[in-house]
Structure 1
Amino acid sequence: MNWRKNLWTLWVGCIISGSCYTMLLPFLPLYLYDLGTPAATISLWSGLIFAATFFVSTIMSPFWGRQADKAGKKLMLLRAGFSLATVYLLGAFVTSPLQLFGVRLLQGFATGFVPAALAIVSASVPEEKMGFSLGLMQAATLTGSIIGPLFGGLLAHYFGIRMSFVVAAAAMLFGTMAVGLLVKEPARSGEVQSGSMVNDIKISLNNRGLCIALFLMLITQMVVMLLQPLITLHVAALQGRMEGAVLTSGVIFSLAGIAGAIAAPLWGRVGQKVGLGKILVVVFTGAGIFNGSLFFTETIWGFALLQFLFGLFIAGIQPTANTMAVFNSDAAFRGRAFGLMMSASQLGSMLGPLLGGIISTWIGIKLTFLYAGLFLISMGILLWSRYNWGNIRVSARQSSSM
């Protein structure tokens, strides 16, 4: 088995998956206008269609993770890829908000491409390459998040939003077929134990390292999604006008994504060398400092620079958490571990915008940046003072049996 071919094929597959997802997501509210949705209900329908996928995915991810361990990780990856291609194509033919809501529900059921890819990578690459490889996969999803809105915007501008759905379906189909032809799944090392998803969750919560990884994934995604909807509004306030705020915000989003794509593999590699706990202290503290500093900046250029620096540090948390999940789970539990990580991420994505809307309404957008930064710094201090991280940086062979 050629682990490098697996890694780079799945890397490209995750770029395609991330691009297709972000090619469509930012433009769904505009699609609702095209579907004739009354202006008074646009916000309600937008909230529903955004939350639908996250909600279903949160529930289904552990199930698909168990199926990956039971039936095969590659099979579940192909199932997710072909299902997503079908769902994207269906999105091009909806004629009402309710139908679009139904498509978004189906997308939640189709989830699982990235967790299955991570599970295959974790089972393929040598242990000494684990941190860098998982960081590289994180960089792939970030790269997709940069490419997707660009192509989606161009397609929507010149050909309409429906064509974006068609192109996303075709790209997802191509990427999945490439994975099917080129990726070879390592032989499974054990059988899935009998029991239910509830039992899997209980097992995970009794595993200290995996439990910490799940918590880190949840709060990181929650903080990122808490802030993301506020950036465009804050940019408009800095400019003194709404005109051009969407374009400027898009550039700022891209800067943070570029920073993350550069930094994620490096954090993964360094973390495995110096210790995952030390890296988590650094990235949480650094992200908190630069995010909290957004409160004090009064210029677009300063805001963009701080967002770039924030992206450099926040990108180190997820690959480190994924590496912890690998080093604290047996190979036979790996699919379920990444399914639970995906579920934690989706739950954070669902809770983040809700909390962001409530908090920013209460204290204002600028103070939300400051308090989010203080929260991240507090997490860094907590990780430094509370936990003995010596038993976290262990190999999969040394981790407790699951």
Structure 2
Amino acid sequence: MDFPWKRNLAVLWIGVFFCSTAYSISIPFLPIFMNTELGIGENRLELWSGVAFGITFLASALISPFWGSLADKYGRKPMLIRSGFALSLLYLINYFVHDPYLFIIVRIFQGLLAGFVPASIALVATNTPEAKTGYALGIMSTAGATGSIIGPLIGGVVSHYYGNRNAFLFSAIIVLVSALIATFFVKEHNFDRSAPRSRVRDDIKQASANKPFMALLGVMAVTTFSVMILEPLLTVYVMEMGVDKSSASLTSGIIFSSVGIATIIMAPRWGKIGRKIGYAKVLMIGLIGGGLGNIAQFFVSDYIGFGALRFGYGLFFAAVYPTINALIVETTDSSFRGRAFSLNQSASQLATMAGPIVGGLLGIWLPIRWIFILNGLTLLVAAWLIIRNSNLHLMIKSAKPKRITVRQQTHLKQRS
């Protein structure tokens, strides 16, 4: 490659970091924004919050395969530019919205025009040497985690001192930085625009024939659902613990960041462990530890203990998404990898859509603390399915760490 892949990785890491930061600045505080700025009463807040979260991801899940097909034809960099500038404009529009129904419409367009992060992951997966792909994807996963640390802290401070509406203005500016980074610094190589554009139906058919890959899509959907079922409720739950509404944004921002801090600490270490014992085994450890960590949160009633348990949960759950990405690399052919990550994004977005809606409904019918039990059991069931399902059991046995294979090949070359 003429353009060093490590430099390209660094540029994309920065772009994803800014994009994830922008998301985390404003989105975690939607319930407070809808209550204080859009006039949604507390008796309907859980349901409206669930819809506002979920509708964006439903739109994104439906359109993601289409954007993936265009990316195969015209390149991933154009998708980065398209989504970056579009999302920046839509965040800016949110700043001026005062009607809750118009806010929902803007959220729909945010889903339809999104795609910066999955396009970045696909570009890394297809523009990195084969032996380094798993490592590069692991590094990319820390960009989103770092953004999830910085974003809620910035958003909490902005919401606390300047108002929740101004958080959208900050998000618009930061996403604009991501778009500019993609425009001027991202390089895409080895891309043939003369190749025929694939059809979504053919991509799904090809993916369906790959049983380990389909199993990974199922695990991605289940784990994402378990995370997102709590997403619209955490801020409300913090207020139920006795935190004053005026400081709820700042307190919940710190608690949101605890999972991201844990991810930054443990994700690289889980990557090293995965290369030694196998990524699928690390995935099971992450699911079991995350499930037990969620169940433990049922038993705390103060926000300090709650934040500490969220951090402990994050130490284990940090293993899940990077190892899923690494196993996608292991179980798919390089020529299909870009489309594989697009389908993975669709599975994630469908679960991201369903989780907040179900969480919003459950928040009406059940005390929020009981949802932590359901969440933990969901992760434990996912781990149990990995053990019981024959396709996934085969995947665990067959998925070998790339570093071992490369060392073996080097050793053989030296001997010869």
Does TM, normalized by the shorter one, top 0.5? yes
Q: Which amino acid is 1:14 matched to?
A: V
Residue 238 of structure 1: CA displacement?
A: 5.1
When normalised by structure 2's length, the TM-score is 0.84
Check 1:62–1:221 CA distance in 2 against 1; reply closer, same or farther (3 A cut).
same
In 1, Cα distance between equivalents of 2:202 and 2:254 = 44
Check 1:154–1:361 CA distance in 2 against 1; reply closer, same or farther (3 A cut).
closer
Check 1:292–1:5 CA distance in 2 against 1; reply closer, same or farther (3 A cut).
same
1:56 is aligned to 59
Q: Which amino acid is 2:136 matched to?
A: S
Residue 122 of structure 1: CA displacement?
A: 1.4
- Work out whether residues 325 and 337 of structure 1, in 8 Å CA contact, stay in contact via their aligned partners in 2: yes
In 1, Cα distance between equivalents of 2:315 and 2:288 = 12
Are positions 1:124 and 2:127 aligned together? yes
Check 1:49–1:234 CA distance in 2 against 1; reply closer, same or farther (3 A cut).
closer
Check 1:38–1:221 CA distance in 2 against 1; reply closer, same or farther (3 A cut).
closer
In 1, Cα distance between equivalents of 2:44 and 2:370 = 29
2:408 is aligned to none
Residue 218 of structure 1: CA displacement?
A: 0.8
Check 1:297–1:81 CA distance in 2 against 1; reply closer, same or farther (3 A cut).
same
1:12 is aligned to 14
Q: Which amino acid is 2:186 matched to?
A: V
Residue 262 of structure 1: CA displacement?
A: 2.2
Of stretches 148-157 and 79-88 in structure 1, the one that deviates more from structure 2 is 148-157
Check 1:249–1:88 CA distance in 2 against 1; reply closer, same or farther (3 A cut).
closer
Are positions 1:265 and 2:265 aligned together? no
Check 1:234–1:85 CA distance in 2 against 1; reply closer, same or farther (3 A cut).
closer
Check 1:384–1:193 CA distance in 2 against 1; reply closer, same or farther (3 A cut).
farther
2:398 is aligned to 391
1:119-268 to 2 correspondences below 5 Å: 119-188=122-191, 196-236=199-239, 247-268=250-271
Residue 143 of structure 1: CA displacement?
A: 1.5
Residue 36 of structure 1: CA displacement?
A: 5.3
Residue 3 of structure 1: CA displacement?
A: 0.9
Q: Which amino acid is 1:155 matched to?
A: V
Residue 201 of structure 1: CA displacement?
A: 1.7
In 1, Cα distance between equivalents of 2:247 and 2:96 = 31
Deviation readout 1:325-368 (Å, 9 max, x if unpaired): 22333333333222211111111111112333445655644443
- Work out whether residues 64 and 336 of structure 1, in 8 Å CA contact, stay in contact via their aligned partners in 2: no
Check 1:269–1:63 CA distance in 2 against 1; reply closer, same or farther (3 A cut).
farther
1:319 is aligned to 322
In 2, Cα distance between equivalents of 1:376 and 1:50 = 21
- Work out whether residues 61 and 112 of structure 1, in 8 Å CA contact, stay in contact via their aligned partners in 2: yes
What SS does the corresponding residue of 1:227 show, helix, strand or coil? coil
Q: Unaligned stretches of 5+ in structure 1?
A: none
- Work out whether residues 22 and 145 of structure 1, in 8 Å CA contact, stay in contact via their aligned partners in 2: yes
Of stretches 156-165 and 313-322 in structure 1, the one that deviates more from structure 2 is 156-165
Check 1:298–1:46 CA distance in 2 against 1; reply closer, same or farther (3 A cut).
closer
2:410 is aligned to none
Q: Which amino acid is 1:113 matched to?
A: F
Residue 139 of structure 1: CA displacement?
A: 1.6
1:303 is aligned to 306
1:332 to 323, 332, 335: 335
- Work out whether residues 280 and 320 of structure 1, in 8 Å CA contact, stay in contact via their aligned partners in 2: yes
In 1, Cα distance between equivalents of 2:302 and 2:160 = 29
- Name the Cα RMSD after superposition: 3.0
Are positions 1:351 and 2:354 aligned together? yes
1:266-281 to 2 correspondences below 5 Å: 266-281=269-284
Check 1:394–1:61 CA distance in 2 against 1; reply closer, same or farther (3 A cut).
farther
Check 1:266–1:133 CA distance in 2 against 1; reply closer, same or farther (3 A cut).
farther
Check 1:341–1:35 CA distance in 2 against 1; reply closer, same or farther (3 A cut).
same
Q: Which amino acid is 1:2 matched to?
A: P
- Work out whether residues 222 and 348 of structure 1, in 8 Å CA contact, stay in contact via their aligned partners in 2: yes
Check 1:313–1:63 CA distance in 2 against 1; reply closer, same or farther (3 A cut).
same
What SS does the corresponding residue of 2:230 show, helix, strand or coil? helix
1:94 to 94, 97, 112: 97
In 2, Cα distance between equivalents of 1:240 and 1:98 = 29
Q: Unaligned stretches of 5+ in structure 2?
A: 406-416
Residue 182 of structure 1: CA displacement?
A: 2.0
When normalised by structure 1's length, the TM-score is 0.87
